[in-house]
Amino acid sequence: MFKKVIYNTGAQIIGKGITAGTTLLITILIGRALGEAGYGDFTKIFVFVGYFYTLGDFGINAVYIKLADDKNNFILLRSLVGLRLFITLSLAIAAILISFLIPYNPQTGIGFSPMVKLGIIVASLTIITQGLFTTANAFFQRILRYDLSTIAAICGSLVILLGTILTFIAKGGLLGYTISYVFGGLTFVFISLYLIFIKTKKLILPKFSLAQSKIFISKSWPIGLALILNLIYFRIDVFILANTRSSAEVGLYGLAYQFFESSLAIPIFFANALYPLLAVLYRSDLNQFKKQIAVWLKLLTLFSILLVFGLIMVSFFIPFIYQGRFTGSVPALQILALGTPFFFISALLWYLLIIFDKQKYLLIVYAGGAVFNVIANLIFIPRFGYLAASFITVVSEGLILLFLIIALYVKPKTFNLLRE
């Protein structure tokens, strides 16, 4: 088991290292070209469409992995593709319509400008591509071949980088950078589907099955709603910043968060690789299951502490990288770095609740976190700006971790299992 987890996590980390490198170059080019305010507008666009990425996810992958076996895998995958295609197409249309309702004050420059709204219309196409790429990842996760997902991610990232470089040279502006992400998303999808075809010798065509869709939704809704609540507390700060502070502040926070968010992929990779294996051990070997949990909790904690120091060191290089600009991002990243251990451990506990069939508690956990986060951000962001958003993000994730621990020990059976 250890070798499988390390292999799949290693494949993801290598891929993330490459994609993080390209993302850094992309961020440098966009930041230098657009400045703090322009990068703030770029952040507004992709945080807004990012809300719809999560809605398109809705936790259905976890249900597919639990239900799929060697006999029904292909049929379930086709049904999953059909459901995702319908959901994400609907969400893309909804995103475009909602964007027109978001206010903008031309005197202060606060809110979503017409150019930002146009960018949202273009970027809404990535809601569909992200949904299809997420679906392909469900297949890769089930067969424990994250290296295939990594190949698709690297190809897509390189396409985005190429588009960004061309836009930078041509001075294409905000829309040019947005279009680059659309082409990158299309690359994610086409490469993923090609790799699945190579693996299965079958073409994955969408199947629209109402009966199977009902099964997916009925079993995933607690996870899906928890993801939505997670998103609210995770990224509502940018929306509040955008409507109460300048685009420059959004840019400062957005840049710091870009560095921080890259590090959060590591615990997700570990948790994704562990989940299928832990689910099997839970049914077959409880003693080994408990040992693996103890080992990985210690490892994740150690990795997270090392990463805290790494992010703090990186923060001092931001002004140098961006030609003296974005100095305000330094303290924001340093504050965010302190929350890294909370995110690492929460990623594993999330899947433990699903394994214990207690996913409904995720809804309660993230509802509590979302309520605290929204109230705190509404109170402090208008007064203290993006640094308040950074601090509240850390406190909120600490609270989420506490809630997850409590949820795991709600029933005596689970308490005894984890204590022994």
Mean pLDDT, residues 363-391: 92
- Does the pLDDT value for residue 230 go beyond 80? no
Q: Say how many domains are in the chain.
A: 1
pLDDT category at 415 given cuts 50, 70, 90 is very low
Query: What pLDDT score was predicted for residue 41?
Result: 95
- Does the pLDDT value for residue 186 go beyond 90? yes
The pLDDT mean for the chain works out to 87
- Does the pLDDT value for residue 1 go beyond 70? no
Q: Any idea what DSSP says for residue 111?
A: E
187 vs 84, 126, 176, 209, 396, CA distance in Å?
Answer: 18, 11, 17, 27, 35
- Does the pLDDT value for residue 49 go beyond 50? yes
Query: What pLDDT score was predicted for residue 7?
Result: 66
H-type helices in 322-359, by residue range? 329-337, 340-355
- Does the pLDDT value for residue 414 go beyond 60? no
* Residue range of the domain that includes 319: 2-419
Mean pLDDT, residues 363-372: 86
- Cβ neighbours for 301, distance < 8 A, ≥ 6 positions apart: 341, 344, 345
Mean pLDDT, residues 234-262: 90
Of all residues in the chain, what percent carry a pLDDT higher than 90?
47
- Does the pLDDT value for residue 229 go beyond 60? yes
- Does the pLDDT value for residue 326 go beyond 60? yes
Query: What pLDDT score was predicted for residue 166?
Result: 97
Q: Any idea what DSSP says for residue 285?
A: -
- Does the pLDDT value for residue 70 go beyond 60? yes
The most confident of 114-123, 199-208, 277-286, by mean pLDDT? 114-123
Greater model confidence, 372 or 278: 372
Query: What pLDDT score was predicted for residue 6?
Result: 61
* DSSP H or E stretch at residue 110: strand 110-111
pLDDT in tens, 126-185: 999 999 999 998 888 787 687 888 899 999 999 999 999 999 999 989 999 999 999 999
Asked if residues 300 and 344 have their Cβ atoms less than 8 Å apart, the reply is: yes
Mean pLDDT, residues 255-271: 81
- Does the pLDDT value for residue 235 go beyond 90? no
Query: What pLDDT score was predicted for residue 167?
Result: 97
Q: Measured between alpha carbons, how far is 217 from 28 in angstroms, rounded to an integer?
A: 40
Please identify which residue in the block is written with the tokens 């003693």. Answer: 287
- Does the pLDDT value for residue 412 go beyond 50? no
Q: Measured between alpha carbons, how far is 225 from 47 in angstroms, rounded to an integer?
A: 18
- Cβ neighbours for 119, distance < 8 A, ≥ 6 positions apart: 41, 42, 45, 174, 175, 178
Of all residues in the chain, what percent carry a pLDDT higher than 70?
93
- Does the pLDDT value for residue 333 go beyond 70? yes
